[in-house]
Amino acid sequence: MSEDKTYQVTMEEHEFIYPRYEFVAQANVSDPDIFERMSLDKFPYYYKEFADMLEWDEYWHTMLDTSDAPCWKWFVGGRLNASYNCVDRHLKENKNKTAIHYVPEPEGEAIEHITYQNLYMRVNEVAAVLRDEMGLKKGDRVTLHLPMTPELPITMLACARLGIIHSQVFGGFSGKAAGERAWDSESEILITMDAYYRSGKLLDHFEKAEEACKRSEEEGQKIKTVLVWQRYKGKHSSPTPLKEGRDLVMNDLIEKHKRVKVDPVSMPAEDILFLMYTSGTTGRPKGIQHSTGGYLAYVTAMTYIIQDVQPTDVYWCMADIGWITGHSFIVYGPLSLGASTVVYEGTPTYPDPGRCWRIAEELDVNIYHTSPTAIRMLRKAGYDEPDNYNHKFKLMCTVGEPIEPEVWKWYYEKVGKNQAAIVDTYWQTENGGFLCSSVPGIEPMKPGSAGKTVPGLHAVVYDDTGREMEPGEGKAGNICMRNPWPGSMQTIWKDRDRYVRTYYERYCKDPKSKDWRDWPYMTGDAAVLAADGYFRILGRIDDIINVAGHRLGTKEVESAALVVEEVAEAAVVAAKDEIKGAVPDLYVSLKPGFEPSTELEKKINATIRDVVGPIATPKGVWIVPDMPKTRSGKIMRRVLACVSNNTDTGDVTTLANPEVVELIEEMVKKGK
C-alpha cells in the first residue's frame, strides 16, 4: 500500500490509457464523427441533436437568439415541461422501472425502489399541495433546504411541474445561509425536513428553519410558511417543535391530495427552471439562473454522451443534490433519459469503508460518479476494501476538483478493477453540464487531465495579455469557452451587471456586439493545454477556495468572522489538505482593548460554522498582532497563504510591517 502524503497536481503529463473494447463496443457514442458534426463552423445548429432528446409541447423556431448578448436565449419559441420530460414521458414503456433507488443511511432500513409510476403519483401529490394549499404558481420562487432523501427530487420535480422556480440550498448549510438565499430569491415558502441521518446520527435539521426565517425577515423577506417533510412518516423526528401558524407538515397535507393529478404547465424554453446559489468573490452568494429548455437538453445529452447512461444501467452519482452535480446528474439528466438513479442519504464511509461497495453490489450499480475528495477519503479509509465486493462498474466519473494521478490510479485499479472507463469532468455551477471531459467510447483517458472540451464546446486559453496560447506551450493560462451552449446560465438572478462583469468583461472583444464570437466565456480557472488538446485544470484564479470539490468564497468566510465583535480584520487563505484538496485558514486581528484567547478562537470558529456552515470551518483561527500589509494598507493574503502552507514567503521587505511576518510564521509553526 502506498504512503499517503499531501497530494500535488503534478505538472507532468501522463500516458494515455485506452478504454477496454467491451466498453467501446457498447458505448452510446463511439463514432468520432461527432466532433466533425459539432465543429465550430457548424455552431449553433448541431445543438438540434440535444434538443431532440426531449419531448416538446411546441417545437422551437430559433435555435439561438443573441440579441441581448451575452444573455443567450436557446430554443426560442419552444415550450416544454421538465417534470413531464423526467417523469410522465417514461410511463408508457417504463412505468414499472425503478426511477429512484433510495438508500437510507442506517443499514437496517430497507432500500426503497421508487418506480416511475410511483414517482409520478408522488410528484403530482406534492404539486397539488403547492398549487392548491399554498397558492403557488409559475414564476414564484420556493427555497428548499432538504437533505438527501427522495423528498428532495420529488419536491424539485413538483415545482418544475408548475413552473415554480426551486432554489435548493445544500442541507449541510446553516439556517442563516438558507435564509439569506430565501431573501435574495424572494421566497415566501421554505421547504425543509425534520431530521436526517449522517454518520450514524439522526441530525436535527428542522432547528435551522427558525434561523432561516429570522435571517430572511431581517432582510425584509418574510417566509410565510415552512413546509416540513417527515423523515419517518407520522412522526416529528426533531426536538424542535413546530411553530403554530407558520409550520405545516407536508406528509399531512399530502394525505388530503392523494391521487390528485396536476397537469404539467407548458413552459417557454427560456423560462427559469431553478436557481442555484454559489460563492463568488464578494461576500454575497450569487443566484445562478438556469433555463428550462436549454438546461434540460444539455444535461440530457451530457448524461447520454459522457456518462453513457443506457436503459438497463443503474447510475449512482454520490454528490449531494444540494450542489449542481446532484441537480444535473442525480435528478434531471438521468431521469430525463428514463434511467434508474440512486439517492444515498448518508456518509460514504458509514458504518465502515465498505459501505459504498456494498450498495453498488446490492443495486448492481454499473455507473459510479463521485469527487476526488470522496475518492481520497475512501482510499485512505479502505485501500483494499473494494476487493471484497463483487460490484462491476462500466464507467466511473470524477468531478469538482483536480484529481492527483496516483489517486486516479487507485480509482481505476481498485474501484474500477481495471475494467471501468473513467471520465474526469470539468465544469461549474454556471455551466449546467460538462465543459471538458473525454468522450469515453472515443477518446483515451489521461490521469490528471480533464480531456478535451465535450462535443459542441470549443475552448481557448488566454494568457494575461489576452493572447491565445498554443497547445503544448507548457504554461498555464485562463481557460475560456469560445461559444455559448444551451446549458449555460442565463444570468445571475437580479444582477445582470455582475453576470457580465464576472464572466465576460475581461475577454469581450466589443461590448456592443451581438455576435457570440465577441463574447468568450471566462471560467475563472487556470489550465494548461497539452499538445494533444487535453486540458489540465489547475484551479481558480480568483478568491475562491475549492474545499472538497465545493466552492467557498474567501470573502464569505471573512464576512462571517467579522460578525464577531472583537474582530477588526479577517483574511482567509487556502491551506492544502490531504483529503479535501484545500481548506480555509483564517487570520484575524482584534479591535483595540481585546486580548487573544482560546475562547475567542472557539467563538470565531463557531460563528463561521453558524453563519456559513460546517464546510467553512477553518483549519486554524490565528489571532495575529497585525496583518502583513502593503504600504497602502492592503492585506497581503499571498504572504499568509505561504505561511499556511509552510512555503517561502519570498521578499517581504517592501511591506509596511515586514516584522510581523516572522511572528506569524512562528505562531503557525508552533500551532499557537
Q: Which of 427, 485, 499, 622: binder of ligand PRX (CB under 6 A)? A: 427
Positive/negative CA dihedral, 14, 15, 20, 21: positive
**Minimal distance, residue 211 CB to ligand PRX, in Å:** 24
**Minimal distance, residue 344 CB to ligand PRX, in Å:** 18
**Minimal distance, residue 434 CB to ligand PRX, in Å:** 8
Q: Which is nearer to ligand PRX, 349 or 429 (CB)?
A: 429
| Strand-pair partners of 204 | 195
Considering only residues 237 through 276, tell me which ones interact with ligand PRX, judged by CB under 6 A: none
Rounded to whole angstroms, the Cα distance separating 373 from 621 reads: 23
Q: Is 525 in the site for ligand PRX (CB under 6 A)?
A: yes
Q: Is 488 in the site for ligand PRX (CB under 6 A)?
A: no
**Minimal distance, residue 512 CB to ligand PRX, in Å:** 28
Q: Is 540 in the site for ligand PRX (CB under 6 A)?
A: yes
Which residues 6+ apart lie within 8 Å of 512 measured at CB? none
**Minimal distance, residue 449 CB to ligand PRX, in Å:** 9
Residues in the chain, total: 672
Q: Which of 149, 216, 278, 483: binder of ligand PRX (CB under 6 A)? A: 278
Q: Which is nearer to ligand PRX, 85 or 278 (CB)?
A: 278
Q: Which of 126, 399, 636, 640: binder of ligand PRX (CB under 6 A)? A: 399
The size of the interface with ligand PRX (CB under 6 A), counted in residues, is: 23
Q: Which of 50, 298, 410, 426: binder of ligand PRX (CB under 6 A)? A: 426
Q: Is 550 in the site for ligand PRX (CB under 6 A)?
A: yes
Query: Contact 661/652 with Cβ under 8 angstroms?
Result: yes
Q: Which of 539, 581, 596, 618: binder of ligand PRX (CB under 6 A)? A: 539
Grid cell digits, residue 30: 463511439
Contact range with ligand PRX by CB under 6 A, out of 44-52, 299-307, 409-417, 534-542: 534-542
The residue behind cell 469527487 is 371
Query: Contact 329/343 with Cβ under 8 angstroms?
Result: no
Rounded to whole angstroms, the Cα distance separating 667 from 663 reads: 6
Q: Is 546 in the site for ligand PRX (CB under 6 A)?
A: yes
Q: Give the per-residue contact string, 42-81, with ligand PRX (x = CB under 6 A; - = no).
A: ----------------------------------------
**SS3 sequence of 411-446:** HHHHHCCCCCEEEEEECCHHHCCCCECCCCCCCCEC
Q: Identify the three-state secondary structure at position 89.
A: helix
- Going by their DSSP bridges, the two strands 544-547 and 550-553 should be labelled as antiparallel
End-to-end CA distance of the chain: 34
Rounded to whole angstroms, the Cα distance separating 160 from 454 reads: 27
Q: Which is nearer to ligand PRX, 176 or 551 (CB)?
A: 551
Rounded to whole angstroms, the Cα distance separating 671 from 206 reads: 37
Rounded to whole angstroms, the Cα distance separating 557 from 373 reads: 21
Q: Give the per-residue contact string, 296-325, with ligand PRX (x = CB under 6 A; - = no).
A: ----------------------------xx
Integer-rounded Cα Rg, in Å, for the chain is 24
Q: Which is nearer to ligand PRX, 552 or 635 (CB)?
A: 552
Q: Which of 149, 336, 425, 589: binder of ligand PRX (CB under 6 A)? A: 425
Q: Is 428 in the site for ligand PRX (CB under 6 A)?
A: yes
Q: Is 415 in the site for ligand PRX (CB under 6 A)?
A: no
Q: Which is nearer to ligand PRX, 338 or 581 (CB)?
A: 581
Query: Contact 325/341 with Cβ under 8 angstroms?
Result: no
Q: Which is nearer to ligand PRX, 266 or 281 (CB)?
A: 281
Nearest to 608 by CA among 556, 569, 542, 565: 556
Q: Which is nearer to ligand PRX, 152 or 621 (CB)?
A: 152
Nearest to 550 by CA among 478, 617, 604, 601: 617
The residue behind cell 421566497 is 187
Q: Which of 85, 340, 429, 605: binder of ligand PRX (CB under 6 A)? A: 429
DSSP 533: S
**Minimal distance, residue 566 CB to ligand PRX, in Å:** 32
**SS3 sequence of 223-283:** CCEEEEECCECCECCCCCCCCCCCEEEHHHHHHCCCCCCCCCCCEECCCEEEEEEECCCCC
Contact range with ligand PRX by CB under 6 A, out of 10-18, 424-432, 499-507, 579-587: 424-432
Q: Which is nearer to ligand PRX, 428 or 649 (CB)?
A: 428
Q: Which residues bind ligand PRX (CB under 6 A)?
A: 278, 324-325, 399-402, 424-429, 450, 523-525, 537, 539-540, 546, 550-551
